[in-house]
Amino acid sequence: MSDFGKVYLIGAGPGDPGLFTLRGKAILERADVVVYDRLVSPSILAFCNDKAQMVDVGKMPTHHKVKQSEINKLLVKFAKEMPSAVIARLKGGDPFVFGRGGEEALELVEAAVEFEVVPGVTSAISVPAYAGIPVSHRGIATSFHIITGHEKEEVRGSRPEEIKVESDAECHPEQTLQSISCHPEQAQRVEGSSIAGLDFPALAKCPGTLIFLMGISNMQMIARRLMECGKDPKTPLAFIEKGTTPYQRTVTCTLETAAETIVRENVTAPAITIMGGVVKLGDKLAWRKKLPLSGKRLVVTRAAKQASGISAKLTALGAEVIETPMIETRSVEPRVDTCHPERSTKCEVEGSSIANFADLANFDVLAFTSTNGVESFFEAFFKASLDIRALAGKKIASVGKITEKKLLERGLHCDFVPEDHTGEGLGKLLAKIAQSSNLEPGASTLLLQGNLADDTLTTLLPKATRWVVYETLPAKTLPDWKREAVAAADAVVFASSSAVENFAKVVQHGSVESHAELDSASASPCLEPQATCPAPRTCFSIGRMTTATAKKYGFEVVESDETTMDSLVKKIAEYYA
Ligand code: SAH
């Protein structure tokens, strides 16, 4: 085993989080550090765990950006300073397709740092697919070719200012592209330097589909050289901007009108250029822009576990969803909840005492009702310097399969898992097992739960002991990247009044604390200047109560016809139809 951390070069795909790989997601969820580029979409960053150190190395133009050589050094530095850490290097598309992943890997090898590559869905193929353009098609194109429109430049003495543009572009192609893409005369200045390596006669003869990445700033020259070398000026061509994101746009023209089209339509990076007969198929097959929520970015404020249902529904209708849970969980020193079954939150706080791990000996069954419970219990267990053998002989019960998997990761097989995966199912199962041994329900059973767990289990198992191992709290702050994503969203979706309250506190006013002043002043928050409300002003509400709270905070509210998630989703789709 290496003493260093391990680096994962992960392809984030073209933007749509649904195109991110399962392997990439699994690594992000446990990464200690995430070094990410500007092309990585916020909904993919949302997979990172809250404790991860987030390092943005691809700031927007005008901001300071990190050079490639510095990024290489940074990865080595993190690996060397953080033994056994998981360091995720997250890059747009695929890390080895014009992503400079190879250079980073070479540097890691040089420094004896272990690494893995997690391929991503490359924009070269997926972005055309989202525009309804197959890169190959029987009878039209039997091959496709992915070409860089911005090659690395060796130093040339005669044109220093152009070389500066090139080296910059190499670090962050987007930034240079964006800044000069609307000025063909500027693109002309770098003519012949940045793409000197391209074999235009061969490309012009090639009957397959040509796909250029990073090609917008040089397109005038690329198109001219291809035509000079014999490529048909009438070849269909498409620019696809910000593909697979809510802002995807396709602009079509022909090879001979490419340069003027870029200027007229203000095509900006990131965009790919695709040429060939297949482009015409996009007229019939452009499936994505027909989805009712295509082009919309929506903030979903439910707790992570509940959010996935509505998020999946909205995503299926074409929206990009930013999940912004308004609660977070925190492990606590386990305490005994002594007041059940008449438990109340107040009673729990006043009537609880710190749990003693020596008491574990009194229990035959440990019952877990969430993955949070598993994680928090073991955090405290190991903190108490206990060894896993302290659990020898205990029966382990889990509410369902996800919690069961978490326990298996700790080397523990579950003895009891109810069929219906609910607290009630677990309670009934454990009660039955106790009775079959002539024990009272819950005798010698320890429940490991959060502070907001309801009374289902303690009611069904009155003799059980409950330890509170984690707490659920309102989220206090949002990371910067998420704040930016929320600010750029079209609307927020609220399924409860408390979500509105927390959203107003956390997003609109920066933190829960700052909101206290606001309450006392009984001000109407969104009547304040826009700068203090960097959030959408439109929201969708599940019902009357939520609507009233949202109005209080200055939202323009669209209310669901019925108080169900399906009805809410339907309302959103109708609103944007
Ligand atoms: N490794 C990446 C490519 C990096 S080069 C991949 O495999 O996709 C950056 C170029 O990729 C951009 O200039 C643009 O041409 C293209 N690109 C990346 N994401 C894109 C997107 N969502 N829409 C359009 N083009 C994209």
pLDDT at 179: 29
- Residue listed under structure tokens 């130093």: 155
**Dihedrals phi, psi of 414, to nearest 5 degrees:** -85, 140
54: annotated active-site residue = no
Q: What does DSSP say about strands 365-368 and 395-398: parallel, antiparallel, or unpaired?
A: parallel
Structure tokens at 358: 């020596």
Q: What is the pLDDT of residue 422?
A: 82
Most confident of 176-185, 348-357, 411-420: 411-420
Q: Give the active site residue among 6, 214, 219, 505.
A: 214
Residues lining ligand 1, Cβ inside 6 A: 14-15, 39, 92-94, 97-99, 122-124, 127, 173-174, 177, 213-214, 240, 242-245, 269-272
Q: Which atom of ligand 1 is nearest to the CA of 212?
A: 15
Domain at 126-285, CATH from 3.40.1190.20, 3.90.950.10, 3.30.70.360, 3.30.950.10: 3.30.950.10
Distance CA 407, CA 389 (A): 15
- CATH 3.40.1010.10 in the chain, residue ranges: 6-121
Going by alpha carbons, the residue nearest to atom 5 of ligand 1 is 98
Q: Is the pLDDT of residue 496 over 70?
A: yes
pTM, entire model: 0.66
How many CA within 13 A on the CB side of residue 536? 22
**What are the structure tokens assigned to 143, written together?**
């091959």
> Looking at the chain, which residues constitute the CATH 3.40.50.10090 domain(s)?
297-326+475-576, 336-473
* CATH class, 297-326+475-576 region: alpha beta
Residue 3 CA to residue 20 CA, distance in Å, equals 30
Is there a catalytic annotation at residue 168? no
pLDDT value at 520 more than 70: no
Q: What is the largest CA-CA distance in the chain?
A: 93
List, in order, residues 6 or more apart from 96 with CB less than 8 Å away.
102, 117, 119
CA of 123 to the centre of ligand 1 (A): 5
- Please tell me the distance from the alpha carbon of residue 417 to that of residue 401, in angstroms, as a whole number: 8
pLDDT digits (tens, 9 = 90+) for 390-418: 999 999 999 988 789 999 999 999 999 99
> Rounded to an integer, what distance in angstroms lies between the CA atom of residue 320 and that of residue 293?
8
Q: Is the pLDDT of residue 320 over 50?
A: yes
Share of the chain above pLDDT 70, in %: 82
Known catalytic membership, residue 221:
no
Q: Where in the chain is the domain with CATH 3.30.950.10?
A: 126-285
Least confidently predicted of 138-142, 250-254, 306-310, 382-386: 306-310
- Pick the atom of ligand 1 nearest to 150's CA: 13
Locate the DSSP E strands across 162-305.
Answer: 209-213, 236-241, 249-254, 271-275, 297-300
Q: Report the b/e string of 251-289 with b at 16+ CB within 10 A.
A: bbbbbbebbebbeeeebbbbbbbbbbebbebbeeeeebe
Which tokens sit at 12?
């984030």
Cβ contact 506:518 at 8 Å: no
Under a CB-based contact definition with an 8 Å cutoff, are residues 458 and 340 in contact?
yes
pLDDT score at 526: 35
Q: Across residues 30-54, what is the average pLDDT?
A: 90
Burial of 444 (0-12, 13-18, 19+ CB in 10 A): middle
What strands, in cross-sheet order, belong to the sheet with 538-541?
A: 320-323, 297-300, 491-494, 538-541, 556-559
pLDDT of residue 276: 98
What does the pLDDT look like over 194-217, one tens digit per residue?
677 899 999 999 999 999 999 999
Topology annotation, domain 6-121: Cobalt-precorrin-4 Transmethylase; domain 1 (3.40.1010)
Q: Please determine, looking at this structure, whether the domain spanning 336-473 carries the CATH number 3.40.50.10090.
A: yes
Report the percent of the chain where pLDDT is more than 90.
59
Element (H, E) at 322: strand 320-323
- pLDDT of res. 191: 44
Measure 217 CA to ligand 1 centroid, in angstroms: 14
Q: Please tell me the distance between residue 93's alpha carbon and the centre of ligand 1 in angstroms.
A: 6
Region 126-149: what's the mean pLDDT?
97
Q: Which amino acid is at 570?
A: K
User: What CA–CA distances, in Å, run from 228 to 187, 200, 204, 255, 360?
Assistant: 18, 9, 9, 12, 82
Residue 161 has pLDDT above 50, yes or no: no
**Tens of pLDDT along 251-285?**
999 999 999 999 999 999 999 999 999 999 999 99
